[in-house]
């Protein structure tokens, strides 16, 4: 059996009866926009615990420089926003999911504004709407120019802090979802977690909502914070949940590219304000690539940059912002970051290069956030709802988290409020709980010696960038899959006792799934570019699903 699909059920051996027991109605794993909005909705029908891997303010949401798209500007319509989303999704969006998110997104954004979100204003005091890649009109709300995610995180955190039946567990690592048996489809009943002070703990829950974010740290070049190590995707896969569209990873076209510097995001809003992409000679090459030039969908811009870099034999292209008036006021965070490297955007070109940005694939859900595993829901970047198709439209991710997070939190009441075997009230003493136990004999001993985890992580990220990056070939993808199989034999059978080891195992598993999905999809569509297959193919206009214990892909048609 393929070592990836023969993945063991739990990362560590444990006996639940010997560990501290915590009980709640709904467990939310993740503290970004989707997780916090889910928690607020779930709190209406019971106790909620929000599990956060690090600090509550360290999430992809808080790092989001771009805005949040909503069809609320005068003259804008739901149909127009839906149309732009479908075009960006390259024929793989589920239109029902698109219409749901765009339609309900208007109310969710107005709700945020009513809760105190500070939106940028025009000189006349009206809400300012920006335009970003793939949008046919200006419909993007921003806060402080380039700090929209940070502002949304602030509003939601303050709201959550006000709700007495929501508890937030920070710096608490989710290892695995609890199921009564190791069989695929066995219901999820919470999670086993690790805290640096309290050690291993069992958190039992009637409903578990996975909102753990993405997988950007799988790539050497990424815009994501260090916590984005695909933990939620891996634990859902081990619990038997189907993951879909894993080959679709969105690369942001413009990150600051300087030797030794982190790949700081240069927001798409900068191009929305009129910035140009130019080559070493100063030629504005996007005019030759797409009618929307710099405002083309992200996959088109990223791929064009890679081709331009190859043509000129360099390491990056340039972003020209020198003609944008009021740049420092419009983008204060970006200006401050550039100043660290003595770059003044009013005078100098900014060196930029694409980087891994957003995980389009994820745990497959229906429009209510349900997965194929009873008791498990998913929302946000960790989920695959069908909204994004083959390529996420700019600024739709925060909107998705708000809408589908709220729906998942509300839908979880079917578990927390049900009677009988399917669920119960918040009074946990009503019925005994199953006690899943993993013993040492369940885990194969390793005879491969000690691992240098830093070296494995570095090699994994380099291999993903080199072989499963923006431009993919059959040879590179086969090499990546072979490397993952090799590392799996040395890594997945080991038992680690700290988060770094668990993160490496999760990254290895999810990286292998991305590679296999990309190898299976013999076409070029959206964010997925296969050199041997230069265009989309009708037989691949489906979602590809992968599940533990099954070494063949399942095709699912569009909703």
Q: Mean pLDDT in runs of 10 for the chain (559 residues)?
A: 67 89 96 96 97 82 78 95 96 97 97 95 90 90 85 95 96 95 88 95 96 95 91 96 97 88 82 93 95 89 92 91 92 90 94 95 97 97 96 93 98 82 36 46 47 88 96 96 87 87 95 96 96 95 92 80
Which letter does DSSP use for residue 496 in this model?
-
Query: For the chain, where do the domains classified as CATH 3.90.700.10 start and end?
Result: 253-355
For the domain made up of 14-248+360-429, the CATH class stated in words is alpha beta
Strands 383-384 and 249-256: unpaired
Query: For the chain, where do the domains classified as CATH 1.20.58.100 start and end?
Result: 451-556
Longest CA pairwise span in the chain (Å): 73
Helical packing angle, 148-161 and 33-42, nearest 10°: 20
pLDDT confidence of residue 263 = 77
CA angle 386/390/391 to nearest 5° reads: 100
Query: For the chain, where do the domains classified as CATH 3.50.50.60 start and end?
Result: 14-248+360-429
Q: What is the CATH number of domain 253-355?
A: 3.90.700.10
Query: How far apart are the two ends of the chain, measured CA to CA in Å?
Result: 32
Strand partners, 169: 51
pLDDT confidence of residue 446 = 46
Which letter does DSSP use for residue 18 in this model?
G
> Which positions are catalytic?
298
Which tokens in the block code for residue 16? 């639940």
Compute the distance between CA of residue 47 and CA of residue 39 in angstroms, rounded to an integer: 9
Q: What does each C-alpha distance from 134 to 126, 297, 327, 401 come to in angstroms?
A: 24, 5, 22, 20
pLDDT confidence of residue 3 = 54
Q: Would you say 32 and 405 are in contact if contact means Cβ atoms under 8 Å apart?
A: no
The total of other beta-carbon atoms located within 10 Å of residue 79's CB is 12
pLDDT confidence of residue 448 = 43
Q: Would you say 370 and 240 are in contact if contact means Cβ atoms under 8 Å apart?
A: no
Question: Which phi and psi angles does 76 have, rounded to 5°?
Answer: -85, 155
Q: What is the CATH number of domain 451-556?
A: 1.20.58.100
Compute the distance between CA of residue 510 and CA of residue 246 in angstroms, rounded to an integer: 8
């Amino acid at each position: 059996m393929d070592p990836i699909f023969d993945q063991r059920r739990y990362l560590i051996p444990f006996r639940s009866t010997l560990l501290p027991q915590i009980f709640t109605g709904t467990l939310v794993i993740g503290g970004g926009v989707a997780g916090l909005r889910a928690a607020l909705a779930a709190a209406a029908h019971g106790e909620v615990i929000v599990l956060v891997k690090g600090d509550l303010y360290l999430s992809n949401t808080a790092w989001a420089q771009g805005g949040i798209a909503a069809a609320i500007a005068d003259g804008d319509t739901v149909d127009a926003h839906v149309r732009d989303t479908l075009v960006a999704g390259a024929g793989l969006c589920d239109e029902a999911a698109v219409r749901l998110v765009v339609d309900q997104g208007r109310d969710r954004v107005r709700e945020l504004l009513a809760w105190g979100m500070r939106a940028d204003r025009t000189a006349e005091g009206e809400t300012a709407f920006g335009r970003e890649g793939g949008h046919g009109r200006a419909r993007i709300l921003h806060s402080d120019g380039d700090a929209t995610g940070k502002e949304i995180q602030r509003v939601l955190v303050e709201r959550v802090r006000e709700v007495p039946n929501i508890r937030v567990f920070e710096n608490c690592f989710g290892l695995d979802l609890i199921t009564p048996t190791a069989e695929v489809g066995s219901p999820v009943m919470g999670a086993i977690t690790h805290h640096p002070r309290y050690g291993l703990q069992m958190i039992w829950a009637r409903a578990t909502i996975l909102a753990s974010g993405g997988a950007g740290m799988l790539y050497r070049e990424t815009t994501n914070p260090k916590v984005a190590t695909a933990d939620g995707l891996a634990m859902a896969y081990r619990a038997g949940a189907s993951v879909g569209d894993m080959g679709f990873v969105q690369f942001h076209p413009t990150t600051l590219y300087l030797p030794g510097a982190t790949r700081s995001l240069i927001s798409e809003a900068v191009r929305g304000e009129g910035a140009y992409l130019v080559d070493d000679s100063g030629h504005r090459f996007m005019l030759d690539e797409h009618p929307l030039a710099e405002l083309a969908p992200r996959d088109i811009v990223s791929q064009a940059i890679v081709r331009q870099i190859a043509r000129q034999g360099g390491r990056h292209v340039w972003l020209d912002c020198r003609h944008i008036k009021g740049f420092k006021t419009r983008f204060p965070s970006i200006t401050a970051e550039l100043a660290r490297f003595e770059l003044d955007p009013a005078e100098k070109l900014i060196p930029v290069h694409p980087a891994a940005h957003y995980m389009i694939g994820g745990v497959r859900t229906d429009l209510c956030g349900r997965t194929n595993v009873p008791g498990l829901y998913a929302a946000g970047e960790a989920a695959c709802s069908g909204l994004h198709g083959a390529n996420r439209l700019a600024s739709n991710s925060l909107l998705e988290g708000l809408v589908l997070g709220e729906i998942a939190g509300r839908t979880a009441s079917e578990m927390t409020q049900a009677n009988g075997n399917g669920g119960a009230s918040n009074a946990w003493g009503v019925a005994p709980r199953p006690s899943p136990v993993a013993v040492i004999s369940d885990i194969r001993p390793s005879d491969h010696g000690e691992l240098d985890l830093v070296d494995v992580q570095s090699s994994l990220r380099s291999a993903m960038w080199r072989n499963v990056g923006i431009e993919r070939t059959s040879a590179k993808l086969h090499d990546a899959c072979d490397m993952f199989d090799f590392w799996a034999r040395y890594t997945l059978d080991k038992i680690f006792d700290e988060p770094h080891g668990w993160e490496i195992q999760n990254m290895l598993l999810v990286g292998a799934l991305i590679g296999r999905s990309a190898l299976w999809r013999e076409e070029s569509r959206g964010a997925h570019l296969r050199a041997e297959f230069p265009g989309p193919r009708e037989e691949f206009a489906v979602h590809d699903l992968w599940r533990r214990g099954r070494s063949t892909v399942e095709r699912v048609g569009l909703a």
